[in-house]
Chains A and B, each alone.
Chain A
Amino acid sequence: MIVTNPLFWFALLAIGVVLLFVGKKMDLLNNTAYAAVVSVVIVVAYFHIVDHYLMEMQGLDYWYLFRQ
């Protein structure tokens, strides 16, 4: 599953950051829908990266259930 790969979440985070800068350039950040989408993309990716790596640091697999 692609979601179990941390690179997927890094890519999502990168997309979120790019959208943030694009939004800033195009004056879209004060558009509610655009701001909400960018926020959700960044935050979801961030928390998945946190969950994945903090489990990995302990020698544990965050995606244990999804790999069964």
Chain B
Amino acid sequence: MGRQNGKKIWSIMALGAMMAILLLPVATSLNALASGGGEAPPAPAVKAEGDKKDEAKVEKGRDVYYKTEGIVAGAPAPKTTDGTKDYPRYNFESRVLLWFANQQHLYYGSFVLAVPIFCMIIEFMGVVTKDKAMAKKYDQLAYDFIKISLTAYSLTAILGGILIFTFLTLYPAFFGYLSSIFRPVMHIYALMFVAESGTLYIYYYGWDKMKEGLLKWIHLSMSVILNVIGTVLMMLANSWIGFMMSPAGVDEQGRFLGNIWHVIHTALWNPLNVHRILGNMAFGGGVVAAYAAYRFLSAKTDEERAHYDWMGYIAMALAVAFLIPLPFAGYWLMREVYAYRQQMGITLMGGLLAWLFIIQATMIGILFLSTNYYLWQALGRMRGAEKYQRYIKYLVFVLVVGFLVFITPHTMVMTPAELKAMGGQQHPVLGNYGVMSAKNGGINVIITTTVLSFVWYMRGNKEPMVPWKKFGNIFMGTFFGLAYVNIIWLAIYGYYIPANVRVGLSVPQVATTLSCLFFMTALNGVMLKGAKQMGPIEWGKISARSQYAIIMLATAFTWMMGLMGYIRSSVRLFWHVNEIMRDNSPWAYTHTVGFAANMISFNVLFFWVSILFVFWLGTLGAKKAPVEAKAHAPGRVPEPAHGH
């Protein structure tokens, strides 16, 4: 008893210490922030000389975004020249090297930020569930998740180091300017990273010691702290790219005006934060699901297959939960880009980079097709789900039509001869369809169909027993049917009204899709309370094809992340910092679509080869604890494959 109390006291002290570590960067930076980004306050002796002299010396500038006046507190952005002084180089394109280092760091960074959030959710589910066996399984699953991310965490730190060295050695002038603006932010970032590492290691290694009672709650609250730190880290890093795209807090010469919050809180910071956190979650879920798929495919026993099938399902469900709102966050980001600089929006979606958005649309379509395919395959492991199989062909039809509309280009890439033969850049028929009005309809139809597939999956092996089940089923069918009608109607209606009215139609379209998501899953949940089980879910009895669909989903997501990162970065064109610091290196041009696609593919390939190495490392520990080869009982809840 005394020993237990001692453990509790130590745990509370450890938690307090972690909180202190968390707050330390904020406390140490308060002075710096108060004085405007680390600039030393004026000496009292100078003040004594009289206000008039001071005013004469103080130079003021006007914020390029906030339009407020501020005292100039930094040097102007350097005007670089093409030479080894500003752009030292190997006999190779420096931008490509930086691209590679940056992308790999981002992949791993996204992964290690997302996985602890999953751990937190799953561990919480384990703590609150009343079924002790299930609680233990959730706990094991959360542990499996964090174990994968631990090796990846080291790689993230190594890649971060490589990235900084690449910046320092190949782009010293630009990095010097950026770090002069973000000096206090970069210090906070580094200290937060220390806090994150400390919390993560205590969280991981303290798992067994803190598995019951109050200690478990303390352990769980550590995951909350871990994720708060991780999210703040991501938001700080986002402030740098936000500043590069839509600078604020500086004057037109790029001189810092003393307000660090203005520099952080740029026009695109919040949309970037929301878009990135959702993207990271979907990506992280996809990678963990791919890990589970890999373990499922290489499993030797039914127990292992059942466990990894279940793990893959949970990871996939989490990934899809964040994938569904992702396009809407993307729309918000694009809307803010247009609001910030219309030309930037046109370059992205109607000009130089428009074809990359067609590729993006294709990738989004692949993501949703893979998700639906997995859900349909997953129906196969439930008794009673056969009743939905015959309707799948209709869903395929709707998805394919939505997908084709979504990927239709407005203009074609053609040779001059082809252009002449067609009579213009727009195809006489297809040219009418490659517009946002139709595309919004296409993607919303795809997402609504995914929601419908998920609703079917939820009721796969269940028969509602509520007295109003007939009305419930008819209402759900009507709601989905009329949601499709409303989405398609709004898409068609957009052709008949002016552009300034049409642009608003995307909002009710999105609301229609989200209504299906929230209301129909909620209604389905209510209808399934006390439902009759037609048969158990036979974990592990899923086709191998479904696992390849998961791997496809994860790979497509990795590719799309690379693509979107490239698009977002390319939109600055020949600017390091948009309209403030010009890129005068020999590589200040936009790559061809083909080159960019090859580069993205190389990055994806490298990431997956390296993450496979991480997965393999994860299996080394597991092999020490042999799995008992028990006969598989169909439909049982999966046992953890190994202990920890």
Contact = CB atoms under 8 A, between A and B. Distances in A.
Contact of B501 (A24, A36, A60): A60
B440 to A, nearest CB: 13
Given A39-B478, A50-B515, A23 B471 contact: yes
A51 B490 contact: yes
A64 B497 contact: yes
Contact of B486 (A29, A32, A35, A47): A47
Interface string B503-522: 01101100110010000000
Nearest to A56: B504
A47 B482 contact: yes
B10 to A, nearest CB: 53
B515 A65 contact: no
A44 interface: yes
Nearest to A58: B504
Contact of B483 (A47, A54, A61): A47
Contacts of A38: 471, 475
Interface string A28-42: 011010011011101
A23 B515 CA distance: 24
A54 B468 CA distance: 32
A32 B507 contact: no
A55 interface: yes
Nearest to B493: A65
Interface string B447-479: 000000000000000000001101100110111
Interface of A is mostly: helix
A54 B508 contact: yes
B493 to A, nearest CB: 7
Contacts of B595: none
Interface in A1-49: 23-24, 29-30, 32, 35-36, 38-40, 42-44, 46-47
Given A29-B468, A35-B470, A43-B482, A50 B512 contact: yes
A61 B634 CA distance: 57
B335 to A, nearest CB: 11
Contacts of B505: 55
B205 interface: no
B515 to A, nearest CB: 7
Contacts of A61: 501
A58 B509 CA distance: 14
Contacts, number: 69
Interface residues of A, number: 26
A65 B501 CA distance: 10
B92 interface: no
Contacts of B479: 39, 43
A44 B620 CA distance: 58
A65 B508 contact: no
Contacts of B515: 46, 50
A13 B467 CA distance: 23
B470 to A, nearest CB: 4
Contacts of A65: 493, 496-497
Contacts of A62: 508
B511 A30 contact: no
B470 A51 contact: no
Contacts of A50: 486, 508, 511-512, 515
A44 to B, nearest CB: 6
Contacts of A43: 475, 478-479, 482
Contact of A40 (B482, B483, B501): B482
A30 B507 contact: no
A37 to B, nearest CB: 10
A24 B493 CA distance: 37
Interface of A: 23-24, 29-30, 32, 35-36, 38-40, 42-44, 46-47, 50-51, 54-55, 57-58, 60-62, 64-65
Which 8 A-B pairs have CB atoms at the shortest separation, nearest pair first? A39-B478, A29-B471, A60-B504, A35-B474, A30-B470, A35-B471, A54-B508, A51-B508
11 contacts: A35-B471, A35-B475, A43-B482, A46-B515, A50-B486, A50-B512, A51-B486, A54-B507, A55-B505, A58-B507, A64-B498
Given A43-B478, A43-B482, 5 more contacts: A38-B471, A55-B504, A55-B507, A60-B500, A65-B493
